[in-house]
Amino acid sequence: MIGASLVPPPAPVATAGDLLREMDRFGIDRALVYHYHRLQSSMNRLTLDDVKTSSRLMPCWALPIAPMTLDEKLENHVEEMIQAGGKAARLVPDSGPTAGPIRCGPSFSAVCSNV
């Protein structure tokens, strides 16, 4: 994870450059990364900005757990991820804790069939 989180980790990695230096120190060739931000849409934009700095960094796309608007669909977010070159995703709430178990149902097949 790149960026500041709500609860600071023991050794935060603030920038892609910091992460690459840590990868060098531990002999890690490539890494799947995401940039933390409280908004899912900003998280993806910042992640794409970070991975552009090095071919060693691969983006992990943030997909919303629940739609925020009536016409919002997981499939649209998956299509956006694919067009941006994303190959991996993580399900995230847009804000706050989740209310019980996550049920992806048939919409999640869009992720599996396109990645």
**Over the stretch 51-74, which tens digit does the pLDDT of each residue have?**
999 999 999 988 877 666 667 777
Residue 7 within a domain:
no
The mean of the pLDDT values for the chain is 78
Looking at the predicted structure, is the pLDDT value of residue 95 above 60? no
Question: How many domains, in total, are found in the chain?
Answer: 1
Residue 8 within a domain:
no
Range of the domain at 95: 16-114
- What local confidence, expressed as pLDDT, does residue 87 receive? 82
Helical axes 40-51 vs 16-26, angle rounded to 10°: 60
Residue 3 within a domain:
no
Which runs of E-coded beta strand occur in the chain? 31-33, 57-64, 88-92
- What local confidence, expressed as pLDDT, does residue 24 receive? 94
Greatest C-alpha distance within the chain: 47
Partner residues linked to 2 by β-bridges: 35
Residue 71 within a domain:
yes
Residue 11 within a domain:
no
